[in-house]
Amino acid sequence: MSVQAVSNCKIKEIKDGSILSPNGFTADGIEAGIKQGKKDLGLIFSNVPATAAAVYTTNQFQAAPIKVTQNSISRTGCIQAVIVNSGCANACTGEQGLKDAYETRTLVAQKFNLPEHLVAIGSTGVIGVNLEMEKIRNGIEKLNPFSSKDHADAFQTAILTTDTTMKTCCYTAEINGKTITMGGAAKGSGMIHPNMATMLGFITTDAEVSQEALLQALREVTETSFNQITVDGDTSTNDTVIVLANGNAGNEPLSPEHPEWPVFINMLKLTSESLAKQIAKDGEGATKLIEVTVMGAENELDARMIAKQIVGSSLVKTAIFGTDANWGRIISAIGQTKAKLNPDDVDVAIGSIDMLKSSSPVPFSEEEALQYLQQDFIQIFVDLHYGDAVGKAWGCDLSYDYVKINGNYRT
């Protein structure tokens, strides 16, 4: 376990934890036939209605599942089951797509004897294709959620598309003498440029949290985590992050007025940031995870804007892929933003290697830079010397395989 101290409380990372580590959650993932030979239908289930909060894509073409989930959460602010399919996004499918999404909600509600508004939906895959509802109907009947690691893995596998690996994490902390656990699972590999991206994120916790406070917390944390990753600059139609808090830990209800609210916020931040970084690392065709840290900005928004501009630059990404320490591309990306800065006083470093000091080139060893850029985790540091704010963003390099993957995505 690794330990991070926050507000006089230790938050522990549970390396073998999952979305099912919090008390009261079960899951399953099965092969419904949407994708041949692969799991493609998953379910998360809480033993009681859980307080729910969600954030969604800013793409104007929001997919049918988002509309259904919004409808469900708006009713009582609670969700007990989340059904997710991969292989078909059910986006841009008109009235039939919306009808299919609502039918999916009804089928899950009937299967588990729930009111329909306690069911949320997620879909990911090809846009403009209708769900094969007979496969969905049969698949839902096969779902048998349980609390084992195998069932957690089954769910996490079922939500993947071009991903090469599952994304998961888990943290615990003691609040008011009660052990609070938070688990996360996500998918995302391409069309990643949040606000938000072709990503689905699911976070479970056994904490008791008010719905208003949970939504506030998720929105706050999303800005510095999921909204700070980019793979290819494209924002999808289906992006959703849902947090479910079922209260099984038995703690006093948490809200911003609670003295240990910062502990919960930091748990959510660690979970979201971990999932976001795993998504960035698994970008389609990626060979490297890139982390950009911008310091000395006038405000945090400027710092985050610059960091994301750098990590989202195709020229920066290709340079990193080609192990070329071309700091000029970094400076160019910085200059494209509207952030306040002094062009005569900017520092740039790749790893521990200074490239630019006060906007003047610094001699460096090309051999040393080459060796550093051959690693699979690359850090870029920028200091604007303009203020005290710091911001981070994450992304990946842009390789030949990205074009291959996306050139035949439908075929």
Strand partners, 349: 354, 381
Q: Quickly count: other Cβ atoms within 10 Å of residue 156's Cβ.
A: 25
Active site residue 198: yes
What are the helix (H) ranges across 188-291? Answer: 211-224, 261-281
C-alpha 326, offset from chain centre: 29
What sign does the dihedral 89-93-94-95 (CA atoms) show? negative
CA–CA distance from 230 to each of 290, 392, 396 (Å)?
10, 12, 8
Query: What is the signed CA dihedral for 156, 159, 162, 166, rounded to 10 degrees?
Result: -10
What sign does the dihedral 234-314-394-220 (CA atoms) show? negative
List Cβ neighbours of 142 (8 Å cut-off, separation of 6 or more): 30, 32
CB 203 within 8 A of CB 246: no
Active-site entry in 69, 161, 198, 240: 198
Q: Please state, in angstroms and rounded to a whole number, the distance separating the CA atoms of residues 253 and 260.
A: 11
First-to-final CA distance of the chain = 43
Burial of 229 (0-12, 13-18, 19+ CB in 10 A): buried
List Cβ neighbours of 348 (8 Å cut-off, separation of 6 or more): 327, 330, 331, 354, 355, 356, 380, 381, 382
Helix, strand, coil % over all residues of the chain, rounded to 5: 35, 30, 35
CA–CA distance from 370 to each of 288, 315, 322, 382 (Å)?
14, 17, 9, 19
Q: Please state, in angstroms and rounded to a whole number, the distance separating the CA atoms of residues 259 and 256.
A: 8
Q: Quickly count: other Cβ atoms within 10 Å of residue 403's Cβ.
A: 12
Active site residues: 198
